[in-house]
């Protein structure tokens, strides 16, 4: 779940980068505009992933096992 959330947050960050640099909202372009239901669903999922990744800041790190 952590990895999926991180991937979604990265996608959201790249989308915001495109908006900031070029004025292109890729999510809106793909899913029919900012107010389209599919776009809003994607924005919501990315936002929830962002909330999930906040928990990564407060977790104790577990050392990786060497196999």
Q: pLDDT per position in the chain (67 positions), as tens?
A: 999 999 999 999 999 999 999 999 999 999 999 999 999 999 999 999 999 999 999 988 877 777 6
Tokens for 23, please give them.
């004025």
Q: How far apart are CA 4 and CA 23, in angstroms?
A: 27
Task: Tell me what pLDDT residue 67 has.
Answer: 65
The per-residue DSSP string of 28-39 comes to HHHHTSTTSHHH
Scanning the structure block, which residue is given the tokens 């977790």? 59
Scanning the structure block, which residue is given the tokens 């372009």? 29
Helix (H) or strand (E) holding 57: none
CB contact at 8 A, 52 and 5: yes
């Amino acid at each position: 779940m952590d990895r999926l959330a991180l991937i979604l947050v990265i996608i959201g960050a790249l989308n915001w980068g495109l908006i900031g640099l070029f004025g292109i909202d890729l999510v809106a372009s793909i899913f029919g505009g900012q107010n389209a239901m599919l776009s809003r669903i994607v924005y919501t999922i990315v936002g929830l992933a962002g909330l999930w990744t906040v928990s990564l800041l407060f977790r104790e790190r577990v050392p990786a096992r060497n196999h």
